[in-house]
């Protein structure tokens, strides 16, 4: 039972339940140990849909340790994937088949397909997604570049998003890196550029398929206010998962205030 069940209604209602299709939360894990992972899972697995082992960090784990970590995550009903950077190295080095085979052996459930750093054309991208699906993985793709000097035209982004979903990707992530500053929909201070979002959503049929990387609280809040309680968010620091959920469901100052002003006589 939830700790406060029956005492009050959540100020913002309608939060999706697991296994959820909208309101997806993806955690960015930079190297939690086994006990930290257990703590995170025990406290918050209901609110986490996917854990990404950031960039190439999974290369530095001992094999048995990583298998154990992935098992703990997987058995709690949370998906786990290596960062897309890692896949890009495999593609570049023509080792994709071995990559998929090892990922399976290590216990990953999902593959992130990105071209944040290396160049991959649309046809190759489609094949990469197909092969991961054939190997039994879920696929999440990512659009956008990591280098702020290398901007992707919004029309190409629309094309990629449509193609990835058609190829079988489950969700498409909009890139913002770990820092969430000076990249994609965020300016140098991490503030949301509303017109960049407008541009992206203008050419996307089903915006529920997008996961917005939003490592910083103000970004999360902005996106929740714009898209609602069940917006999908990624690159959430593990320590912030419950704070994010409080923001979603109106149990934190900013979203609580909106709910309160709308329903002063509620309850």
Shortest distance, CB of residue 228 to its own copies, whole angstroms? Answer: 18
Q: Which is nearer to its own copies, 16 or 61 (CB)?
A: 61
Q: Which is nearer to its own copies, 47 or 137 (CB)?
A: 47
Angle between helices 154-167 and 194-202 (to 10 degrees): 50
Structure-block tokens of residue 75 = 């058995």
Q: Which is nearer to its own copies, 141 or 167 (CB)?
A: 141
Q: Which is nearer to its own copies, 45 or 167 (CB)?
A: 45
Q: What's the alpha-carbon Rg for the chain, to the nearest Å?
A: 18
Sequence-separated (6 or more) residues with CB below 8 Å from residue 32: 40, 69, 238
Whole-number Å distance between alpha carbons of 155 and 224: 25
122-130 contact pairs (CB < 8 A, 24+): 122/159, 122/160, 122/163, 124/91, 125/160, 125/163, 125/164, 125/167, 126/163, 126/167, 128/87, 128/91, 128/96, 129/164, 129/167, 129/168, 129/169, 130/167, 130/168
Shortest distance, CB of residue 3 to its own copies, whole angstroms? Answer: 4
Shortest distance, CB of residue 160 to its own copies, whole angstroms? Answer: 18
Q: Which is nearer to its own copies, 82 or 157 (CB)?
A: 82
Shortest distance, CB of residue 202 to its own copies, whole angstroms? Answer: 27
Q: Which is nearer to its own copies, 11 or 234 (CB)?
A: 11
Shortest distance, CB of residue 49 to its own copies, whole angstroms? Answer: 15
Shortest distance, CB of residue 240 to its own copies, whole angstroms? Answer: 7
What is the DSSP code string of 117-142? SS---HHHHHHHHHHHHHTT-EEEEE
């Amino acid at each position: 039972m939830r700790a406060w069940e029956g005492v009050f209604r959540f100020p913002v209602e309608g939060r999706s339940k697991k296994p959820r299709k909208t309101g997806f939360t993806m955690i960015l894990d930079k190297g939690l140990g086994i006990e930290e992972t257990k703590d995170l899972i025990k406290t918050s697995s209901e609110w986490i849909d996917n854990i990404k082992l950031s960039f190439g960090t999974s290369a530095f784990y001992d094999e048995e340790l990583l298998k154990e970590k992935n098992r703990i995550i997987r058995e709690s009903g949370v998906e786990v994937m290596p960062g897309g950077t890692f896949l890009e190295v495999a593609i570049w080095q023509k080792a994709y088949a071995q990559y998929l085979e090892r990922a399976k052996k290590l216990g990953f459930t999902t593959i992130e397909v990105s071209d944040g750093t290396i160049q991959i054309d649309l046809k190759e991208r489609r094949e990469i997604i197909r092969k991961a699906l054939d190997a039994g993985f879920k696929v999440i793709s990512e659009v956008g570049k990591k280098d702020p000097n290398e901007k992707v035209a919004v029309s190409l982004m629309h094309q990629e998003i449509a193609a990835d979903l058609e190829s079988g990707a489950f969700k498409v992530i909009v890139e913002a890196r770990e820092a969430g500053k000076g990249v994609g929909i965020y300016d140098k201070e991490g503030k949301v550029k509303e017109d960049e979002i407008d541009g992206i959503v203008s050419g996307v049929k089903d915006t529920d398929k997008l996961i917005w990387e939003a490592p910083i609280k103000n970004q999360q809040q902005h996106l929740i206010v714009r898209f609602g309680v069940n917006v999908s968010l990624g690159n959430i620091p593990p320590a912030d998962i419950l704070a994010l959920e409080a923001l979603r469901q109106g149990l934190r100052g900013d979203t609580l205030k909106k709910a309160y002003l709308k329903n002063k006589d509620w309850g």
